[in-house]
Amino acid sequence: MHVYWLLLLAAIVCEVTATTSMKLSEGFTKPIPSVAVMVGYIASAVFITFAIKRIELSIAYAIWAGLGVFLTTLIGVYFFREGLTPMKAVSTLMIIAGVVGLYLSQPATG
């Protein structure tokens, strides 16, 4: 079962890399980041496809999207000098709270 969580983590890393590369591609005018966008999104789709073989779809997607939002927010703030307003911080934390709530709503397995 742990391998599926690693696959989900790989999907998240690939998606965040692709999204960051989208910014770096400057409208697909820079070749290396442009290729990274396509490769990252394809790899993310492949990894999440395998992850959901054993992780509930709603849980996997919530974690994938929630951590993606959280990580891209951090990257935007720290690497691209985007502002972090109180509303952005609270909204991002609410997304994380929703992901945690969905995860905790799973029936116990044992």
Query: 3-state DSSP: the chain helix, strand, coil percent, rounded to 5?
Result: 80, 0, 20
Quick one: how far is CA 34 from the chain centroid?
A: 19
Predicted pLDDT of residue 107? 74
User: Looking at the whole model, is its pTM more than 0.85?
Assistant: yes
Which of 40, 55, 41 is closest to 7 using CA atoms? 55
Tokens of 49: 């496809």
In whole angstroms, what is the distance from residue 20 CA to residue 36 CA?
9
**Which tens digits make up the pLDDT trace of 27-65?**
999 999 999 999 999 999 999 999 999 999 989 999 999
Longest dimension (CA), the chain: 51
Which residue ranges make up each domain of the chain? 2-104
CB neighbour class for 14 (10 Å; exposed up to 12, middle 13-18, buried from 19): buried
Residue appearing with tokens 């079962």: 1
Q: What does the pLDDT average to over 64-85?
A: 95
pLDDT-based confidence at residue 1 (cuts at 50, 70, 90): low
Predicted pLDDT of residue 103? 82
